[in-house]
């Protein structure tokens, strides 16, 4: 089974400009495990997703489908075959 990770524009320079990354996964795998796999495949994402304490940075929002994992089981939220995992960045542009 596999899941799709949606990569937001600001992070695409770390994923060879790819907007989606497919990660093979197994039954019972969690968001945390999937994101670790993404970082293994694209190591320069590490410092953008994780802080020095090894935890997801507070401004990185992760959604499974259309649900914020903070309102599910956080990084321990399990994923299913075909799950779409989105990293939602803060973007600020609009005036200049």
Partner 1 sequence: MIDLSTAGVQLSPEEVRRYSRHLIMPEVGLEGQKRLKAAKVLIVGAGGLGSPLGLYLAAAGIGELGLVDFDVVDESNLHRQVLYGQGDVGRPKIAAAFDRLREVNPHIRLNPHETRLSSDNALELFADYDVIVDGTDNFPTRYLVNDACVLSGKPNVYGSIFRFEGQVSVFWAEKGPCYRCLFAEPPPPGLVPSCAEGGVLGVLPGIIGALQTNEVIKLILGVGDPLIGRLLLFDALGMSFRELKLKKDPDCPVCSEEPTQTELIDYEQFCGLGEEEQLPDDLDITPEILRQWLDDGRPLTLVDVRNPEEYDICRIEGSTLIPLHQLPERHHELDPQEITVVHCHHGPRSTRATLFLKDRGFQRAYNLAGGIHAWSQRIDPSIPLY
Binding site for partner 1 (CB under 8 A): 8-10, 14, 19, 43-44, 47-48, 52, 57-59, 61, 63, 66-68, 70-71, 86, 88-96
> Toward partner 1, which CB reaches closer, 19 or 26?
19
d(CA 62, CA 70): 8
Helix, coil or strand: residue 79: coil
> How far is residue 92's CA from residue 73's CA, in Å, rounded to a whole number?
28
Q: How far apart are the first and last CA of the chain?
A: 44
* Min separation Cβ 95 and partner 1, Å: 3
Question: Nearer Cβ to partner 1, position 55 or 70?
Answer: 70
């Amino acid at each position: 089974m596999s899941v799709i990770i949606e990569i937001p524009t600001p992070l695409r320079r770390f994923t060879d400009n790819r907007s989606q990354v497919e990660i093979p996964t197994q039954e019972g795998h969690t968001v945390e495990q999937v994101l670790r796999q993404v970082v293994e495949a694209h190591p320069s994402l590490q410092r953008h997703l994780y802080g020095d304490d090894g935890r997801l940075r507070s401004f990185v929002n992760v959604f499974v489908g259309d649900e914020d994992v903070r309102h599910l089981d956080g990084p321990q939220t399990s994923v299913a075959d075909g799950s779409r995992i989105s990293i939602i960045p803060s973007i600020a542009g609009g005036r200049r």
